[in-house]
Structure 1
């Protein structure tokens, strides 16, 4: 689930980032500090949901939400504010939730549950897997198109060792130590790879299961992956994802 934060207060944004990073299925998109910047980022990154502060400079959250109704992919919106003055207006804009600061982790989880419920019931979400499967069979094509700057590279998925999220882009690493940069998200790359043996050990990484050499215990149930390359690259595996990884490797 791709989530974007629009918040001009640094401390409030930092707090929300900290809480959202505890959720394994969330991929944070670049942040916006005002409404104008938000509109530009939404067009570029197409988030599934936005935590939108109401009081922001240049273009406030309410104005931005009205303008987002015309976006190619209209995101779900959770308004965030220190006051409850705008609650009625917020729900008039079909907001999923209205979150008061300071944030409570339990209250945030309620908002996320509403977002997940909305997304799971949307026609786009439910039809996407079958469309991807049909498209893959129709093309009978085993190359992945990577747009790296001005270059368009056709990459064999089996040559990919792992991919890493880096701010507004991802870096794709091959077994032969080549690195490609793409503006797609990790979730988009994972979707393109379809049923190939790739796994998300952590929100910031996607790894080829065939490229794992060792699993080394770390602490509190977490692990480090050691990969089959010259650098013996190590990638973190969260405690929650370690259980799923062991199930896949058995």
Structure 2
């Protein structure tokens, strides 16, 4: 089944560049292109695209405003925001965007975006089929069960301490060991690597930086830092600040916005 895509972009060259790359994909059908947010809404109502690539900086009505209008509709298309700047990333993912593409486009990065689109579209398809079958009543498809979180066995002096996943706030790499910080303020040093801890702890833990592993439930706020990077402020009296790389920020925000 082909994916229908609407491009909303006010710059002609940028529009044509994106259309050129997308036209190479055999499972994609390009629709009419819009040069403004208002035109994007009109064409979306007319064609009901599967996906909209929405530029953020557009005259009259910008991409964020147009996306908010689309979100208020009965069936919102999958959204990919495109921009030369990354300052709108948090707002984009709050609107449930599949991805956030920076210009100029890179083939490898666009390919990653298309992979996410196809995965999301595949999840939507059974729900649409269920809605159109039988009595026409929409019945949501059951989500896959969330994997159970694991436990850790940490050596502490002459004893072994059992640590539940929900007790773990974050872990940080320290030379040849890893320091594990718990929600109650205790810390333990372990020889387990961050990757081993992530595998063991399971769903809900994320690597925002090569030296850190954090519990997503422990994040209180996310603040912009510089060059597209962020800081994650953790809950608790200590207000621990964890660096989030530019690459990891988009995925982390997507997971926190419920799009994981």
TM-score calculated relative to the size of structure 2: 0.48
- Residue 75 of structure 2 corresponds to 73
Within a 5 Å distance, the mapping from 1:19-98 to structure 2 comes to: 19-98=21-100
1:54, 1:99 → 2: CA distance?
11
Q: Which residue of 1 aligns with 2:111?
A: 109
| Stretches of structure 2 lacking an aligned partner (at least 5 in a row) | 136-260
Q: 1:59 to 1:130 in 2, by over 3 A?
A: closer
Tell me what 1:126 maps to.
126
Describe the shift of the 1:118–1:54 C-alpha distance in structure 2 as closer, same or farther (beyond 3 A).
same
Secondary structure in 1 aligned to 2:59?
coil
Show structure 1 runs of 5+ residues with no match.
136-250
Contact 2:71 2:95 in 1 (8 A): no
Partner Cα separation in structure 2 for residue 79 and residue 100 of structure 1:
8
d(CA) in 2 for partners of 1:85 and 1:62? 12
Superposed CA offset, 1:8-45 (max 9, x none): 00000010000000100000011110011111111110
Q: Which residue in 2 is equivalent to 1:226?
A: none
Q: Under a length normalisation based on structure 1, what TM-score does the superposition of the two structures give?
A: 0.50
Write the deviation string for residues 168-193 of structure 1: whole angstroms up to 9, x where unpaired.
Answer: xxxxxxxxxxxxxxxxxxxxxxxxxx
Could you say which structure has the larger radius of gyration? 2
- Deviations 1:33-62 (Å, cap 9, x if unpaired)? 001111111111000111100000110000
1:161-200 alignment, distance < 5 Å: none
Runs of 4+ in 1 over 4 A off after TM superposition: 127-135
Paired residues, what number?
Answer: 133
Cα root mean square deviation, aligned: 1.9
